[in-house]
Amino acid sequence: RMQITLAILKPDVAVNPHIVYAIDKSILRNKFLIIKRKRLRWPKARAEQFYFQHAQRFFYRRLVEFMSSGPIEALILAKRNAIQDWRLLIGPTKVYKTQHTNPNTIRGQFGLTDTRNAVHGADSEESVHEEVAFFFPEFDVGKWNTKG
Ligand code: CMP
């Protein structure tokens, strides 16, 4: 069954049209449909709100600074098992490791550091609902079957 997920292209890649193009190709080659996309910039307060569950982590300030430092793109992607498949395609969070263990993933290819790791992927159905509402309040998630 069709499922949707929420992806973010982070400022390290969103500033570079060549990398955005390469990531788009990878998305489509892997049979995701791009349902919605929005290019925007986050005020610091928006980044703080999105990542509030990391507020106590050592990397929170640098994450908020980074995510509000330039343009980002939010995408709603659809596919069977979209949540899991997108996370497989982007690779693990920690880029220094991922460059060696999963070099063909999006983070393995385009991530710069553990913070500047190119892309984000929602990690659960609940996160998809929250994150889609965060970027696309007009989008009716309920009309989509979000089960894998
Ligand atoms: P993301 O999938 O957007 O979710 C939380 C983000 O915090 C993560 O990607 C990274 O950008 C950042 N992050 C997670 N762990 C670390 C870490 N150990 N060091 C620095 N940044 C991190």
> Total domain count for the chain?
1
Q: Whose CA is nearest to atom 10 of ligand 1?
A: 115
> Is-catalytic flag, 100?
no
Residue 101 confidence class, pLDDT cut points 50, 70, 90: very high
- DSSP letter at 78 equals E
C-beta separation of 141 from 129 below 8 A: yes
Q: Whose CA is nearest to atom 3 of ligand 1?
A: 120
In a domain, 94, yes or no: yes
C-beta separation of 20 from 13 below 8 A: yes
Q: What is the mean pLDDT of the chain?
A: 96
* Segment 12-39, tens digit of pLDDT: 999 999 999 999 999 999 999 999 999 9
* Segment 69-90, tens digit of pLDDT: 999 999 999 999 999 999 999 9
Cβ 123 under 6 angstroms from ligand 1: no
C-beta separation of 9 from 20 below 8 A: yes
In a domain, 83, yes or no: yes
Q: Compute and round to an integer the Cα radius of gyration of the chain.
A: 14
In a domain, 143, yes or no: no
Cβ 120 under 6 angstroms from ligand 1: yes
The residue segments making up the domain with residue 104 are 2-136
Nearest to 23 by CA among 77, 98, 96: 77
In a domain, 105, yes or no: yes
Please tell me whether the interface predicted TM-score (ipTM) of this complex is above 0.90.
yes
In a domain, 147, yes or no: no
**What is this structure's pTM?**
0.95
